[in-house]
Amino acid sequence: MPLENLFTNEETTNAPEEQPKLLYKKFGVLSNPFPSAGQTSGHPHMSTQADKQVDDAVKTFYSDRKSHVISITASQGIGKTNLLNAYENALREKLSPQGFFVIRYVPDPEPFFDPLIRSIFENLGEDYLRRSINALAKKKQETDDIDKLLDFIRMSEIKTMLKALLEVKPGQKLNERISLAYQWLLGLPVRKIHQTELGVNFRLDTVEAKTRALRDIVFFGSEMKTLEGIFILLDELEKQDFSLSKTIVLRYLSALRALIDALPKYLFLMVALTTDALDRYREMLPAIRGRLANEVQLSSIRNEDEAVKLFRFYLEQAKMEARNFAQDKQLQAGSDVLLHEDSARLLFHQLLKGSNIQGVRQRDYLNALYDKANESITKYLEKL
């Protein structure tokens, strides 16, 4: 029977909660240091030359707020998702407190663009709209010319909606009206209450309308000092190829181009996709070629030195995490070797012989290290 003996040894020292301590006392780690092929997140990122290219672009964007688009390209299993994970965490830590919004998005296999725009509005949220309206109310105290304050807004219905939010009298329910505005921005149907409270009559039911609305809302936040910029990390864009219709893919790419063009400022778009998908998209829609011209290419593991460097990095990261865990638990780290460097070298060369690319995919190499390290862990635990 599957899982027949899953809970039979709960009272022994080999119970799941005790395993990290056992492994630390033996090997100086809490668990297998290497991620399996199925683990796409939650493991460390080793800096490469690609990081410097992205860092430089982020620093430029931070200084001038002019929109940037970066294409992160490589074949499957080279580290695109790992790179995006690392930058998502770093951007949230360092720039979110300063008024930057960080949005991570993976396109649906059915390539509709509407969910991406909706996701942006969802990440901005009602609180962003509330803070922006409060800032506008303070500016209105200095000048009563509301049209002048909102002269940068292009959509008449956005301007009407903002005026309706601004005109809420003290004691009235501003939060309810903001919720209605938020529903409208998300593209929900316009009902009588939206017409009465906000003055809007038409639903934002097209990509064009939503993109224009997004442009105005982003520029509104910038003018009110409640938004410094938006980072969108768009992963696995090659999923658009799952569609059998070239027309649908072209429609998605055209909408992506429209989003880039609608926000000449305050947008940093990092698009991760396979190299061959980028080439196909550039051929399918020449108009997007220039928008995706800034390409950062990731490479596979090309030689033994790179393989050993990656092996050491993951092992040291695991030991560092283990030391932090054991710091106040009075545990002594074991010095037994979990996996020898010679084994790591051998695994690399074995994978290299069977590789169909130049080098070895990081995912395949780390998975091989995981399996090999797991053998040592299993043998040790079975002896207890």
Lowest mean pLDDT among 8-17, 307-316, 359-368: 8-17
CB half-sphere exposure, 245, CA atoms < 13 A: 10
Res. 225: pLDDT tops 70? yes
Residue 384, both tokens: 């207890």
Residue 1: pLDDT band by 50, 70, 90 thresholds? Answer: low
Q: Which residue has the higher pLDDT, 109 or 90?
A: 90
For residue 13, the model assigns a pLDDT of 47
For residue 102, the number of C-alpha atoms closer than 13 Å in the C-beta half-sphere is: 16
pLDDT at 12: 46
CA atoms within 13 A on the CB side of 104: 13
Of 10-19, 32-41, 119-128, 280-289, which range is least confident? Answer: 10-19
Per-residue pLDDT, averaged over 361-366, amounts to 96
pLDDT at 44: 93
- What pLDDT digit, counting tens, does each position of 50-74 carry? 999 999 999 999 999 999 999 999 9
- Model pTM? 0.90
pLDDT value for 282 = 93
Average pLDDT over residues 330-357: 93
Q: Is the pLDDT of residue 206 over 60?
A: yes
User: Taking residues 313-324, what's their average pLDDT?
Assistant: 94
Supply the mean pLDDT for the chain.
Answer: 91
pLDDT band at 340 (very low <50, low <70, confident <90, very high): very high
Between these two residues, 346 and 112, which has the higher pLDDT value?
Answer: 346
Q: Which of 234 and 4 is assigned the larger pLDDT?
A: 234
pLDDT value of position 245: 78
Q: Rounded to an integer, what distance in angstroms lies between the CA atom of residue 103 and that of residue 92?
A: 9
C-alpha span between 190 and 196 (Å, rounded)? 10
Q: Is the dihedral of CA 315, 321, 325, 326 positive or negative?
A: positive
Note the pLDDT of residue 336.
Answer: 93
Nearest to 40 by CA among 90, 99, 87, 84: 84
Q: What is the pLDDT of residues 6-31, one digit of tens each?
A: 665 544 445 556 899 999 999 999 99
Q: Is the pLDDT of residue 179 over 80?
A: yes
SS3 content of the chain, % helix, strand, coil (to 5): 55, 10, 35
The string over 236-272, giving b where at least 16 C-beta atoms fall within 10 Å of a residue's C-beta and e elsewhere, is: bbbbbbebeeeeebbbbbebbbbbbebbeebbbbbbb
Q: How far is CA 114 from CA 187, 217, 221, 281, 336, in A?
A: 9, 17, 22, 19, 54
- Residue 42: other Cβ atoms inside 10 A: 7
**E strand residue ranges, the chain:** 68-73, 100-105, 229-234, 267-273, 295-297
